Amino acid sequence: MTTITETTLTRDNILRLFPDVAASAQTERPSAQDAQLFDGYDEEQVRLMEEVCIVLDWNDIPCGSASKKTCHLMSNINNGLLHRAFSVFLFNDENKLLLQQRADEKITFPGMWTNTCCSHPLAIPSEIGYDLPTSIMGVKRAAQRKLDQELGIPSDHVPLDKFHFLTRIHYKAPSDGVWGEHEIDYILFIKSTPTVKPNPNEVKDAKYVTAKELREMFEDKELTFTPWFKLICETYLFDWWGNMDEVTSFRETDIRRML
């Protein structure tokens, strides 16, 4: 396992260590190994693993692209492969947070409760971004896209200018022996009361909760939660949530390392 540091996560090292990472966006061809790797998984979720993620260096600078599959294999993660992600926290007019339970069909972290929407900007011009302002705009566009795809929330119910970027979190977490996450995760808050029509291939359940109700959920031993959501809840969420009228005051440009 490679020790993940600023000196190891450079563009040159990434391109040398990971031949599946392209210096520019391209689609990987499915291999015979993929057939074995994805045996028994849902066909639509397997197709989504072909999406092209943004590969990063230590400082959140894009240095190439690779499939969602490549980015989420623990064999690559343990050698330092890092990609960009986002986590949306949507609150209604009562300041209740919309949670989703990931569908059992999901390849990573199936059946777990998590924040409103968590996914990846794609390595395409409208979402990639090369500095913090353009990267924030890229993840906002990706958030609109995924809120529609996962929860059936129309884009006009979540306008780009209503998303508030708070911070970036660098974390790593296994899902099982094969899959996991290693991300720089952009945290987005938004207040809206949209129509919600969950896609059953993505979302098993969805509900609004108060802060008290969420704490009670964490005490229920029968429920499981995604590692990034637990990490954010255990550190920052409840402080942010308790100061919703001034939430933009928590915005920061530094990356919070939680490795």
DSSP readout, 5-55?
-TTTS-HHHHHHH-TT-BSS--PPPP-HHHHHHTTTS-HHHHHHTTSEEEE
Which candidate in 63, 71, 117, 118 is catalytic?
118
Tens-digit pLDDT profile for residues 134-158: 999 999 999 999 999 999 999 999 9
Task: Supply the pTM of this predicted model.
Answer: 0.89
Tens-digit pLDDT profile for residues 157-175: 999 999 999 999 999 998 8
Active site residue 94: no
Q: Strand 180-191 vs strand 164-174: parallel, antiparallel, or unpaired?
A: antiparallel
CA distance 133 to 135: 5
Question: 105 pLDDT exceeds 70?
Answer: yes
- Summarize the confidence of residues 81-105 as an average pLDDT: 97
Which candidate in 28, 127, 150, 183 is catalytic?
183
CA distance 34 to 38: 6
Tens-digit pLDDT profile for residues 10-37: 877 877 788 777 755 454 555 656 666 7
Active site residue 50: no
